[in-house]
């Protein structure tokens, strides 16, 4: 038997063992939930964390067989075990796990900020400027128009007057420009991709958070009198926005400098420090109404660019990467309401599809105007389809601020984001593989065209 055949057989045996272990894991949890249905909530949550870690990891290994990214495996495991599918994890445990995601988001933002280097931003400033301008103009306009065209099939928009419909479309267009830093970093963490597509996507996605915050506040100011005739146009929201942005940047800078000093002087137990920051600082930021993602991103950026501790800092965060992404995306899958997705899927497909198409067109045009390399011109748009927690957070803010839209606005946002969350990472990994930027694709010549 040749070494190649032995390697193939060993690989097949390993996959069979992984599939068997995954099936056994689901069976054990099913027996536990049926034999001991009244398990204490805290114990149930701890068990859910352990299960999602194991099931997500095993599923991610199995989906590799068909070329899907690990994030898709995490999502599938969470969806299957969640309260809307097999109900192996109940809604209360999922609610507890979504609170744990504040830690995951903090670490993801710290890592994203640490990946942004001033030299990289300086080299890609033209590409970043064109991509930001075109994506932030074309996406909300086109998706907003599609939203208005579909009004008769959208329950909460059907009876809105013309002005109210325009306001709702404006808010929906704002949600459409949000991206997913977690999905971007998750794919890059798995593939270790390096090249113009990986760098350009990461730079755009991380810096777009600031743009989203500004555009959301602006859209809410304009939409308020459109949706509520009794409301008046006010610039107070812009004052609040300025306070929140400056406060987030200032606090993030302070945290970054303190982190750099700690790493230089002590440098021990960094993971414990990150956990403490993720839980403790997030609560304080919510109290101050600062933007957590922006604050932690600035902190990571400061450590990387204003100190010599960047490599050590980034290495410590990356050690937690696999666990963070499994918990974050498996929990997102478990929290996905399949009933809402089933009821709204035709509208969600239309809105997600139009967003993907305009993202593709704007991405191709931006690459052409910035004179990108041929592969970047073809694939630079693919990493901008994913959506996740940021989009749902923006939808939640809109739903609370404009109760006249009802629960339908949030439900449609969940359904649409779910589609982008499942399709986006697959497209991004495909783009990195086809462009030759991933480790596996670097062994063979990249496709040209």
Report the distance separating Cα 329 and Cα 418, nearest Å.
11
Same domain, 356 and 345: yes
Question: Maximum distance among all alpha carbons in the chain?
Answer: 81
Which distant-in-sequence residues (6+ apart) come within 8 Å of 102 by Cβ? 278, 279, 282, 292
Range of the domain at 417: 99-324+337-443
Residue 142 sits in the same domain as residue 185: yes
Spans of the chain, pLDDT less than 50: 1-9, 40, 444-449
Give pLDDT, residue 7: 40
Query: Domain boundary at 79, 97, 115, which?
Result: 97
What are the structure tokens assigned to 394, written together?
């923006």
Q: What is the pLDDT of residue 35?
A: 73
90 and 133 fall within a common domain? no
Asked if the structure places residue 330 within a domain, the reply is no
Is 82 within 8 Å of 335 (Cβ atoms)?
A: yes
Phi, psi torsion values for 76, nearest 5 degrees: -60, -45
Pair 36, 145 in one domain: no
Angle at 344 between CA 341 and CA 347, to 5 degrees: 125
> pLDDT value at position 441?
56
For tokens 């038997």, name the residue: 1
pTM over 0.95: no
Q: Does residue 329 lie in a domain region?
A: no
Residue 442, pLDDT score: 55
Same domain (yes/no): 66, 132: no
Whether residue 117 lies inside any domain: the answer is yes
Q: Which residue has the tokens 């504040």?
A: 102
> For residue 352, what is the domain's CATH number?
1.20.1530.20
Cβ proximity of 51 and 308 under 8 Å: no
DSSP H stretches of helix in 289-337 = 292-305, 310-319, 321-334
Domain count, the chain: 2
Tell me, yes or no, whether 331 lies in a domain.
no
Q: With contact defined as beta carbons under 8 Å apart, do 336 and 79 qualify? A: yes
Q: Which two tokens stand for residue 444?
A: 């063979």
- Which structure tokens are listed for 238? 């812009």
Last residue of a domain, one of 62, 97, 132: 97
Residue pLDDT, tens place only, 400-433 = 888 888 778 888 988 898 899 889 999 999 999 9
- State residue 9's pLDDT score: 45
As given in the structure block, the two tokens for residue 348 are 């969600």
Do residues 380 and 193 touch, judged by C-beta distance below 8 A? no
In a domain, 81, yes or no: yes
Among the three residues 43, 68, 97, which one is the final residue of a domain in this structure?
Answer: 97
Quote the pLDDT of residue 57. 92
C-alpha distances in Å from residue 68, one per residue of 12, 24, 320: 17, 23, 22
């Amino acid at each position: 038997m040749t070494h190649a055949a032995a390697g193939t057989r060993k690989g097949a045996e390993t996959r069979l063992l992984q599939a068997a272990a995954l099936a056994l894991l689901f069976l054990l949890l099913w027996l536990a939930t049926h034999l001991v249905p009244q398990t204490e909530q805290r114990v149930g949550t701890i068990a859910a964390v352990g299960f999602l870690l194991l099931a997500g990891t095993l599923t991610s290994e199995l989906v590799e067989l068909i070329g899907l990214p690990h994030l898709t495996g995490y999502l599938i495991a969470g969806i299957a075990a969640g309260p809307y599918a097999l109900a192996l994890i109940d809604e209360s445990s999922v609610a507890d796990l979504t609170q744990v995601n504040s830690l995951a988001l903090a670490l993801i933002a710290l890592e994203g900020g640490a990946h942004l280097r001033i030299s990289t931003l300086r080299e890609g400033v033209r590409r970043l400027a064109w991509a930001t301008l075109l994506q932030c103009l074309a996406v909300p306009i086109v998706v907003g128009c599609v939203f208005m065209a579909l009004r008769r099939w959208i329950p909460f928009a059907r009876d809105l007057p013309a002005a109210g419909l325009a306001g709702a479309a404006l808010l929906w267009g704002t949600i459409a420009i949000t991206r997913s830093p977690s999905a971007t970093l998750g794919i890059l963490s798995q593939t270790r991709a390096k090249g113009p597509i990986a760098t350009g996507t990461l730079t755009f996605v991380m810096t777009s958070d600031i743009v989203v915050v500004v555009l959301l506040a602006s859209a809410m100011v304009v939409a308020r009198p459109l949706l509520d005739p009794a409301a008046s146009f006010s610039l107070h929201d812009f004052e609040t926005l300025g306070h929140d942005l400056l406060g987030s940047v200032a606090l993030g800078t302070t945290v970054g400098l303190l982190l750099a000093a700690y790493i230089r002087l002590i440098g021990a137990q960094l993971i414990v420090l990150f956990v403490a920051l993720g839980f403790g600082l997030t609560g304080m930021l919510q109290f101050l109404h600062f933007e957590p993602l922006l604050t932690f991103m600035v902190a990571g950026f400061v450590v990387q660019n204003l100190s010599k501790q960047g490599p050590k800092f980034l290495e410590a965060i990356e050690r937690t990467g696999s666990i963070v992404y499994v918990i974050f995306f498996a929990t997102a899958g478990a929290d996905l309401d399949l009933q809402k997705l089933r009821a709204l899927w035709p509208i969600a497909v239309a809105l997600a599809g139009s967003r993907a198409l305009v993202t593709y067109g704007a991405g191709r045009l931006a690459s052409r105007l910035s004179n990108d390399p041929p592969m970047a011109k073809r694939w630079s748009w693919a990493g901008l389809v994913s959506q996740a927690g940021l989009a749902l957070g923006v939808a939640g803010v809109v739903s609370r601020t404009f109760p006249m839209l009802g629960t339908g606005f949030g439900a449609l946002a969940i359904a649409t984001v779910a589609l982008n969350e499942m399709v986006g990472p697959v497209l991004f990994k495909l783009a990195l593989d086809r462009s030759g930027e991933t480790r596996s694709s670097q062994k063979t010549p990249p496709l040209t065209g």
